Structure 1
Amino acid sequence: MKTILGWHQHISRFDGALTAWGGSLMSLALRWYVGWQFFKAGLVKVGDWSATLALFHDEYKVPLLPPDLAAYAGAAGELALPVLLCVGLVSRPAALALFLVNAMAVISYPQLLTFECPAAINDHFYWGAMLLVLVAYGPGKLSLDAWLAGRRAA
């Protein structure tokens, strides 16, 4: 019985360390993966600005915003928010804002729901789920948010 309790203590310590650092590594991977997807989209937008403006005027139907303002806001959000997310600075608000950018993309381009290949809409669902995980659980220990919190506590 003592042996079993001893093993349990060792496993519990290992499990605690794995949860703390494993969760932080998973959070870091999520932040970098999702951030990179949105950052690439922002680069495409600014890479051919006239095509971006044409898409926002003709294809995307962003509610409540004029097409030019929607294009600027979308590009700015897709370039700035992923940087914040990747370094882990104001991570939860950045993840929530990217979730809203993602939702607006789906709402503004309803053709995503009609494509023969479901990968287009599935990507948006996966990114949204990952962003909500980051909003709920935070950026983990491998972030500027955690480093700043540690400095504040010291």
Structure 2
Amino acid sequence: MQGVAAVWRMGIFSLCVFCLRIYIAAEFLQRGVAKAADWHAAVVQFTLDFSLPLMSPVWSAGTFVVADFVFSMLLVLGAFMSSACAGLLMLNLAALIFQSSIWDLSRPDPLLFRLYSSACLLFLIAWGPGALSFDALRRAER
């Protein structure tokens, strides 16, 4: 009977991890879509508020939009999870370091999003993508 309980717990855990992956990916994808939809505003934001050293604002905005899309899709699929999570963590780190308005505590939502999503991404790196992922499927084939 212990085997059934262990499989049940593993199934629930995999479902929870899958839901967490979808939630985090949806949040980053929403930010990427918003930047892509209003490209001029994104370039202005990367010019005034989020200026990365050694990169022009157009390249910075483009890099963030592409990274939001690519890493979010990898997260949804559960493919190359460590790389996808590390990429999104790098986006969060860049925002925490270079975005000046993120530390404005009169509107804490951007800061809280970066901190919460970083904690979730670190959890996903530590525990893996779960059984509902391409990574698990690839491991099972070996």
Rg larger in structure: 1
Q: Same fold (TM over 0.5)?
A: yes
Structure 1 counterpart of 2:64: 74
Tell me, in whole angstroms, the C-alpha distance in 1 between the residues paired with 2:4 and 2:100.
Answer: 47
Q: Deviations over 1:80-135 (max 9, x none)?
A: 11001101111111011111111212222132222313333112111000001111
* 2:131 alignment partner, SS class: coil
Structure 2 counterpart of 1:98: 88
Q: After the TM superposition, which parts of structure 1 deviate over 6 Å for at least 4 consecutive aligned residues?
A: none
Tell me, in whole angstroms, the C-alpha distance in 2 between the residues paired with 1:23 and 1:29.
Answer: 10
Tell me, in whole angstroms, the C-alpha distance in 1 between the residues paired with 2:101 and 2:18.
Answer: 32
Tell me, in whole angstroms, the C-alpha distance in 2 between the residues paired with 1:149 and 1:50.
Answer: 43
Query: Tell me, which stretches of 5 or more residues in structure 1 are unaligned?
Result: 1-9
- The one-letter code matched in structure 2 to 1:51 is A
1:144 Cα offset (Å)? 0.9
Q: What's the TM-score once normalised by structure 2's chain length?
A: 0.91
Structure 1 counterpart of 2:7: 17
Structure 2 counterpart of 1:51: 41
Question: Which of residues 86, 89, 95 in structure 1 aligns to 2:76?
Answer: 86
Structure 2 counterpart of 1:137: 127
Q: Matched residue pairs, number?
A: 142
Q: What's the TM-score once normalised by structure 1's chain length?
A: 0.85
Contact 1:62–1:107 (CA under 8 A) maintained in structure 2? no
Question: Which of residues 7, 21, 31 in structure 1 aligns to 2:21?
Answer: 31
Q: Deviations over 1:24-83 (max 9, x none)?
A: 111101110000000010000110111111111111122343322211110100111100
Contact 1:53–1:71 (CA under 8 A) maintained in structure 2? yes
What RMSD in Å do the two structures reach over aligned CA positions? 1.5
Contact 2:49–2:100 (CA under 8 A) maintained in structure 1? no
Contact 1:41–1:78 (CA under 8 A) maintained in structure 2? yes
Contact 1:88–1:142 (CA under 8 A) maintained in structure 2? yes
